[in-house]
Structure 1
Amino acid sequence: MPWGSDDGEPADGVVRAMTLVLRLEREAPTRTAVLEAAAAAALALCLDERAAPEGEWFDAVATWAGAGRIRKLSRRARTAHWRAVQEVPGVTVGELARALVPGPVDDVPHEVRRLQIGGTELPADEPGPPPAGRPVIWLSPEVEQTVGKAAAQVGHASMILATVLAADGADPALALDAAVRPAARDDWARWIAALDADATGRAAWESHGVVPVRDAGFTEVAPGTVTCVAARGGTP
């Protein structure tokens, strides 16, 4: 997986995506809790033994991840719809987010097709500083994102962070515990400057311990926008 990339087109022309189902009951959870669950669920599915070689999900996950774009779509569910989607192959985290095995966007199960894509907004909350030493996904202070959009972005971030950790010889599962927080503008400017100095993202990782997610620009933001950065832990 390229560093911070969400670019490229599938060679066979089939658009595939991982669906992230967000549980938004009438008494909604906090925005932060939903985003942290979404980040963990996306990566948990990829690290699941069923997605490993010889596993039942391997072909679907490998074809999606190898297509040059780790596209994700968010949908919302509650009550009976949330219970129904538990029968669709995937991984649930914290009873707040379920990542489904990736597949063609025009061929989804009925339980998924009936879920709404819009209406995923939740008010901002104040989660406080992240626990010391825990990986963090820092959301851009420069672009507004709905919860559905941000869920897809933090899902990208957890996967990219796991890939880079593994390349460094660390346990990729550390990224499962990533906190999600809004970035301070001063910190964000410093990281973006490092990213601008080296388009590969390697310099930013080596100097600040952060890796970016650059959006493809299909919804809400312009192509190439850095929507979030994932940090390996500690102060970047």
Structure 2
Amino acid sequence: MGTRFAILEPLAARYADWLGRSRVDDTSEEDPDQVRAMPVVLRIEKATLPPRSELLAAAASAALAVCLDDRAAPGGQWYEPVDTWVRGRIRKVARRARGAQWRAVTELPGVTVCRGGAEVRALLPGRVVEVPREVAKLQISGTELPLDEPGPPPAGVSVLWLSPAVPMTVGKAAAQVGHATMILAALLDASGAGDELAKWAEAGFPCVVRQADKSTWADLQPGEEPERAWRSRRVAAVRDAGFTEVAPGTVTVLATWP
């Protein structure tokens, strides 16, 4: 496994077991002071709202870009915080910012991704109780954008399909699509497709987000053999832990690799 991508190895190792469980892990005894998360900051200006699908695509690419940044490779300055986070529960917390708030978070360690008219900055993960002051004052709840109609996904691009049965705020959806790109990258590397992953990284992890209809969702479902679905059809699923908005064990996103 290549050094740059090895940081996602624990995620690939857990994927099939995690998706196949009948229940999610019990977190009742988790020490709140040790809970770690990746802040994902969505730029939402009052005057010009970004298209929802573009904002989510930017969030998906940004989260993975932090994980596979050269600074997160072994020996890099980001390695320890990213590695510790990936080996635990992959939590992300999306917040919105505008104006001076946005400019402030761009000075924090992380990666900004632009997609069309949308910008998102994923920050270095860390303990929630130590979140930077510039981030702590940003709002989490109430983040919403109207559904847009971006049209059919283009050929040759990874598509992240949102469940037609699971309504999510844009903040929740941003976290879920960020999980999806991480899982895709981990499975690509683990299955020997490191060259494809390297090309994806060089291109900036392009992807698109679409709302699935019931027929598309049913056709893509991995079923009871998630590893087989990945090997035969290159479909990966995000199964939510149920900390916010949705019930534990809900599949929120199905990600396809072209």
Query: Does TM, scored on the shorter chain, surpass 0.5?
Result: yes
1:3 corresponds to? 15
1:177 corresponds to? 206
Instruction: Verify: 1:71 aligned to 2:79, yes or no.
Output: no
Distance in 1 (CA, whole Å) between partners of 2:232 and 2:169 is: 30
Superimposed CA distance per residue, residues 51-109 of structure 1 (whole angstroms, 9 cap, x where no aligned partner): 11111010000000011x11100000000000000111111101610001000111111
1:189 corresponds to? 218
User: 1:24: Cα distance to partner?
Assistant: 0.4
Q: CA RMSD in A?
A: 1.9
| Distance change (3 Å), C-alpha of 1:183 and 1:190 | same
User: 1:183: Cα distance to partner?
Assistant: 1.3
Aligned residue identity for 2:248: P
**Which of 201, 204, 223 is the matching residue for 2:229?**
204
Secondary structure (helix, strand or coil) at the match of 1:61 reads helix
2:6 corresponds to? none
Contact 1:64–1:103 under 8 Å retained in 2: yes
Contact 1:210–1:231 under 8 Å retained in 2: yes
Contact 1:51–1:58 under 8 Å retained in 2: yes
Q: Structure 1 or 2: larger helix share?
A: 2
Secondary structure (helix, strand or coil) at the match of 1:106 reads helix
Distance in 2 (CA, whole Å) between partners of 1:73 and 1:172 is: 26
* TM-score calculated relative to the size of structure 2: 0.84
Contact 2:158–2:207 under 8 Å retained in 1: yes
2:7 corresponds to? none
2:37 corresponds to? 17
Distance in 2 (CA, whole Å) between partners of 1:18 and 1:183 is: 26
Contact 2:189–2:197 under 8 Å retained in 1: yes
Distance in 2 (CA, whole Å) between partners of 1:133 and 1:37 is: 18
Could you tell me the percent identity over the aligned residues? 57
Moved more, 2-11 or 15-24: 2-11
**Which of 67, 73, 82 is the matching residue for 1:46?**
67
Distance in 1 (CA, whole Å) between partners of 2:70 and 2:25 is: 27
Secondary structure (helix, strand or coil) at the match of 1:188 reads helix
Distance in 2 (CA, whole Å) between partners of 1:48 and 1:90 is: 9
2:83 corresponds to? 62
Secondary structure (helix, strand or coil) at the match of 2:164 reads coil
Runs of 5+ consecutive residues of structure 1 not aligned to the other structure: none
User: 1:184: Cα distance to partner?
Assistant: 2.2
User: 1:190: Cα distance to partner?
Assistant: 2.7
Instruction: Verify: 1:116 aligned to 2:136, yes or no.
Output: no
Contact 2:66–2:72 under 8 Å retained in 1: yes
Contact 2:54–2:208 under 8 Å retained in 1: no
Contact 1:163–1:172 under 8 Å retained in 2: no
Distance in 1 (CA, whole Å) between partners of 2:215 and 2:232 is: 16
| Segments of 4+ moved more than 4 angstroms | 4-12
User: 1:169: Cα distance to partner?
Assistant: 2.1
User: 1:119: Cα distance to partner?
Assistant: 2.2
User: 1:156: Cα distance to partner?
Assistant: 0.2
Secondary structure (helix, strand or coil) at the match of 2:15 reads coil
Runs of 5+ consecutive residues of structure 2 not aligned to the other structure: 1-10
Instruction: Verify: 1:88 aligned to 2:113, yes or no.
Output: no
User: 1:166: Cα distance to partner?
Assistant: 1.1
Secondary structure (helix, strand or coil) at the match of 2:176 reads helix
Superimposed CA distance per residue, residues 3-30 of structure 1 (whole angstroms, 9 cap, x where no aligned partner): 2748657998411000000000011110
Contact 2:95–2:171 under 8 Å retained in 1: yes
Contact 1:76–1:119 under 8 Å retained in 2: no
Contact 1:161–1:172 under 8 Å retained in 2: no
| Distance change (3 Å), C-alpha of 1:125 and 1:219 | same
